[in-house]
Amino acid sequence: MDVTRIDQIAIAVEDLDATLELYERAFGLSATSRERIEPDGVEEAMIDVGGVYLQLLQPTRDDSPIAKFLAKNGPGLHHLGFGVGSVADALDHLRDEGVALIDDAPRPGGGGHTIAFVHPKGTDGVLVELVEDEHP
């Protein structure tokens, strides 16, 4: 498995509008996209910073993973996203290496990407999202 890039740094936030306003005012950064991802119970805003995205995530329902994270930890770093050539191949490799997975198979994610999550127990406490590289 080859990691090709850092795709995103995901940050859990309580108020997406307020955080976007802060990032624009303080850092001159603005969202390049914004969408609701109903299956995950989040609204996300993506901010392109030199080819790496800051992914701001606000829960849209109380039972979402982001809502649970915020209740336990408060706002802050949630996960890292690694770009890979094939999420399916990456999952096979990680499974062969005995790394704990959250997703057993690739699934749809934000922006039409194919994704899967690796359990923090398998990566020394860091939640990792695999994001399939776009193919022309």
CATH number at residue 83: 3.10.180.10
**pLDDT tens profile 10-31:** 999 999 999 999 999 999 999 9
**pLDDT tens profile 90-103:** 999 999 999 999 99
Given a cut of 50, whether residue 136 has pLDDT beyond it is no
Kindly state the tokens that stand for 79.
Answer: 């996960």
Would you state the pLDDT for residue 135? 56
The helices-and-strands tally (H runs, E runs) of the chain is 3, 8
**pLDDT tens profile 36-79:** 999 999 999 999 999 999 999 999 999 999 999 999 999 999 99
Domain that holds residue 25: 3-132
The residue type found at 96 is D
The residue type found at 41 is G
CA dihedral 117, 120, 123, 125 (to 10 degrees): 150
User: How long a stretch of residues is the chain?
Assistant: 136
For all residues of the chain together, what is the average pLDDT?
95
Given a cut of 60, whether residue 8 has pLDDT beyond it is yes
Q: How far is CA 99 from the centre of its chain?
A: 19
Q: How far is CA 100 from the centre of its chain?
A: 17
Number of domains in the chain: 1
The residue type found at 14 is E
